[in-house]
Every structure is written in C-alpha cells, then in structure tokens.
Amino acid sequence: MSALHELSLVEAAARVRRREISAVELTRAALARIAAVEPKVGAFLTLADVEAIAAAEAIDRRIAAGQDPGLLGGVPVGVKDIICTAGLRTTAASRILERFVPAYDATVTARLWAAGAVIVGKLNCDEFAMGSSTENSALGATRNPWDGTRVPGGSSGGSGAAVAAHECHAALGTDTGGSIRLPAAFCGVVGLKPTYGRVSRSGVIAYASSLDQVGPIARNVADVAVMLEAIAGHDPADSTASPREVPSYRTALDGTVRGLRVGLPREYLVEGMQPEVEAAVRAAVD
C-alpha cells in the first residue's frame, strides 16, 4: 500500500470521504514529507502547518457530522506565492513584499477552501513571476527534486517541485508564457494553463494581465481535472472571467479524443531541439 503522501489527489480525497483515513492523518503525512525533503528542494517560502492542521480537523468534523467534505476534502495542496491568502504571508518571492500578509483571499484560494482543500503553505517562484527557472527568487532558489543540480523550471517552480517531491498532492501555479507548463515538464508532473477567462485572476499579483492565468499542477491528468473543476468559474471580481458553466472535467476524462483535431505549430520543432524531445513529440503526433 502506498504511503499517504504518495496517494493521488483523487484517491486521497476518496479515502478521506470514506473515512478510511482522516484529513488530519493525511495532512500530518504531508507535513512530515515536507520536513524530510524540503532542505534539499526548497519549494516552500511559508509553511502553514498550524493552519493546515486546523483546516484538516474542520474537515474531519464535517465528515463526522455527515456533511459533504467537498471535492478536495482533506487533501493537502500548495499555492504559488503570488496568489493572495488571507492571514498568510504572500511575498511574490520578493524582499519588497517579504512581510506582506493579505487581508483577503484570492478567488482561487477561496475556492480551494470551499472545496475542502487543506493549504499547507506558499510555494516559491521567480520574483514577481518574472523568470523561467525559479533561480530568480529573492528568497532562495528551488531545486529540481529529481536532480538537485538542475532547475525545476519556472516561474511556478516551487509548485512543480513540491508536487513532484510528494510534499503536497497538487498545487496552484500561474502561467503567462509557460510558467505552469515548464515546471510540469521539468519536474515530470502534469500542468495546465486554462483558457483565458476560465479561472479568475482576482487576488493574483499580476505580471501581464492580458496573458496571466491561474492553473493546477498535479501528478496525473485526473488530479488536474479535479483541481480545475474546483477553481474554475465566473467571478464578478474579474471582468474577464467567463460566465460559461463549469463542466464536469472528471466526467470528460471517460470520453474519447477520436476525431479531435489538434494543431501543432511547426515552429515548436526548432533547430537545436534535443533529438529525444523531438522524437517524443513526433511520436505523440503520430
């Protein structure tokens, strides 16, 4: 049987819901994992251990009372440190905001709480999300958990590294020009930059508002689908947020992609690309 910190998000949430494990047990396992590997990885800028245990206890009480724990009920997740969290330091990996504690949650943070997630801390990134390696964090670089001599990508490198190192079951990142997709690729996990307007940007420290998007990073596609379902939707606080109904992305995973047309810009296959990377891309296309 897998250790608790190794469970997928979907499996962890299901086991908490069935009362096979408690949210507190799951959260303590995540915090123990963070304590064990964080000195080598450096994914977290702020650890919310006390707050996380309190949130997990609340989920367990909800379940004991026969109430719905939520889509992410009891599952430890991390949040990129340019996304505001009420009462929890939000630095944007900058000395300028080193002591900034927001008085409000970003919309996506509030939706994580509403879905029953347990936020275990804030994750490192390039300063103000301006970078692609997480070496540009003013509060210290994050290392790739697979090889400490390599970068985790960026700017959401802390999110990608934390998920890959099993410090949390999923995380939120932001993507302007690759900042979710690069860490997902570098760290061997799954990341998604949603369609513009699918997820609210309210409460996110902006880099380029016409391009910024909040999205999930997790260990598999199903976990990413559940995270997106939890955070997506219209938001009056963001005029660009789409009013379209949020579908069940989990249900969509059971369908087929037969007949779906996918475009591949030939410019992505550039001179100097590593042969194994190009071969993998072409194999996927074929």
pLDDT recorded at residue 258 = 85
What does the pLDDT look like over 176-208, one tens digit per residue? Answer: 999 999 999 999 999 999 999 999 999 999 999
Asked if residue 153 belongs to a domain, the reply is yes
Residue 278 lies in a domain: no
Is 77 among the domain residues? yes
pLDDT of residue 282: 84
Catalytic residue (choose from 80, 94, 137, 156): 80
Q: How far apart are the C-alpha atoms of 265 and 142, rounded to whole Å? A: 31
Q: What angle do CA 96, 44, 160 make, to 5 degrees?
A: 110
Q: What is the pLDDT of residue 50?
A: 98
Q: Out of 179, 200, 202, 242, which one is annotated catalytic? A: 179
Say whether pLDDT at 84 is over 70: yes
Q: Could you tell me the CATH number of the domain that includes residue 240?
A: 3.90.1300.10
Q: What is the pLDDT of residues 217-232, one digit of tens each?
A: 999 999 999 999 999 9
SS3 content of the chain, % helix, strand, coil (to 5): 35, 15, 50
Domain count, the chain: 1
Per-residue model confidence as pLDDT tens digits over 101-146: 999 999 999 999 999 999 999 999 999 999 999 999 999 999 999 9
Is residue 1 pLDDT above 70, yes or no?
no
- Contacts of residue 114, defined as CB under 8 A and 6 or more positions apart, other chains included, come to 70
Beta bridge partners of 276: none
**Burial of residue 235 (number of CB atoms within 10 Å: 0-12, 13-18, 19+):** buried
For residue 276, being part of any structural domain is answered with no
Is residue 277 in some structural domain?
Answer: no
Predicted TM-score (pTM) of this structure: 0.94
Establish whether 137 is a catalytic residue: no
275 lies in a domain?
Answer: no
The proportion of the chain whose per-residue pLDDT surpasses 90, expressed as a percent, equals 88
Mean pLDDT of the chain: 96
Print the domain residue range for 79.
Answer: 4-259
Catalytic residue among 22, 155, 156, 202: 155
Per the domain annotation, does 83 fall within a domain? yes
206 domain residue, yes or no:
yes
Residue 155 a catalytic site member: yes
Residue 260 pLDDT greater than 90, yes or no: no
Q: β-strands 170-175, 213-218: how paired?
A: antiparallel
